[in-house]
Amino acid sequence: MSKAGEESIRSIINIFDDAGREGLQDTPKRYLKFLKEFTNREEVNYTTFSSENYDQVIVMNEIPFYSLCEHHLAPFFGTASVAYLPDDKIVGLSKLARCVEYYASAFQNQERITMQVAERLMKELQPKGVMVKLTARHLCMEMRGVKKCGAGTTTSAMLGVFRDDASARNEVLNLLK
Class of domain 48-175: alpha beta
Can you spell out the DSSP letters for 7-57? HHHHHHHHHHS-TTSGGGTTHHHHHHHHHHHHH-PPPP---EEE-TT--S-
- DSSP β-ladder status, 107-108 and 129-138: unpaired
- The string of pLDDT tens digits covering residues 122-168 is 999 999 999 999 999 999 999 999 999 999 999 999 999 999 999 99
Confidence of residue 54 (pLDDT cuts 50, 70, 90): very high
pTM: 0.95
For the chain, the structural domain boundaries read 3-39, 48-175
Alpha helices per DSSP H over the chain: 3-16, 27-39, 94-104, 110-125, 139-142, 161-164, 166-175
Beta carbons of 156 and 81 less than 8 angstroms apart: no
